[in-house]
Structure 1
Amino acid sequence: MGFYSDQFHQLNGELYPKEYLTRQLIQARHFMEVHFADNMSLAGFAREACLSKFHFIRLFKTYYGYTPHQHLISVRIREARKLLSANQPVATVCAQCGFESIPSFTALFKRSTGLTPAAFREQAQKSNNR
């Protein structure tokens, strides 16, 4: 069984008896992870799940314990860490990960990792050179 299949059975059994809602949320989460860099609104992700925006947010938080926006930011930060570790410029990483501005990217990245993107890239390069 795959990750999403296992996740489906766990969430379906534990949280919500309506199987179709579980499938829709897993599909929307997967869609978010694939299209994290696209300029899509939360309403767009909710449409992918065939749910209203507010119902989508409420169900997503119930199922996963965090909001869709928090998930999207964590996916973007995870990808940014990979790109920065590969010595990509901060501006390039910002654009490739779907952030709208370098200051907002820097603030979110620092809040998540404790380092600015430039400091993280520098630290990663030192680790790679050892």
Structure 2
Amino acid sequence: MTFYEKKLKKLSEVLYKNQGQIDSVIAVRNYIESNYETDLSLKMLSEIQYISKYHLIRLFKKYYGLTPRQYLIDKRIQKSKEHLVNGMTVTETCYAVGFASLGSFSVLFKTKVGKTPIQFQKEQLSRSKLVSDS
């Protein structure tokens, strides 16, 4: 092994010593991405990678800056915006993205977006009509 190969090996051991943790967090994030519309619990997400709930929260926050719950909510809000722009009703959107209650969906949507879902949808529809009329 050459001098440079030894240095590269040592450097990669330092940089990627937490690869197992990184892989676990990525797997949980990918699971959330694929199953955001289902009823996801922290217990279930931690069992996917066989790590404790509390350790998962710490790791997820360390690598993504959000807890798994916050990430899930952001993903659902992002998808709900797409559904609303495509003409789905607020109620249909609420349940399609995995929220259990229309009230909690509306409150979270307004908190994250700054508008109620219906206000957002009306604004987007009026924008699209302006663009199509031009």
TM-score range, shorter chain: 0.7 to 0.9
Please identify the structure whose Cα radius of gyration is greater. 2
Instruction: Give me the TM-score of the superposition, normalised by structure 1.
Output: 0.85
Q: Which residue is equivalent to 1:107?
A: 107
Tell me the residue number matched to 2:80: 80
Aligned partner of 1:19 in structure 2 is 19
Q: Which amino acid aligns with 1:23?
A: D
Partners in 2 of 1:84 and 1:94 — Cα distance?
A: 10
Offset of 1:119 from its aligned partner?
0.5
Q: Structure 1 residues 23, 125: closer, same or farther in 2, change over 3 A?
A: same
With the length of structure 2 as denominator, give the TM-score of the two structures.
0.83
Q: How does 1:118-129 map to 2 (within 5 A)?
A: 118-129=118-129
Q: Residues 124 and 27 (structure 1 numbering): CA distance in 2 closer, same or farther, change over 3 Å?
A: same
SS at match of 2:95: helix
State the alpha-carbon separation in 2 of the partners of residues 116 and 18 from structure 1: 41
Q: Runs of 4 or more off by more than 2 Å in structure 1?
A: 12-17
Root mean square deviation, CA, Å: 1.9
Q: How does 1:10-89 map to 2 (within 5 A)?
A: 17-89=17-89
SS across alignment from 1:61? helix
Q: What number of residue pairs does the alignment pair up? A: 119
Q: 1:123 to 1:91 in 2, by over 3 A?
A: same
Shift of 1:17: 2.5
Structure 2 stretches lacking a partner, 5+ long:
1-11
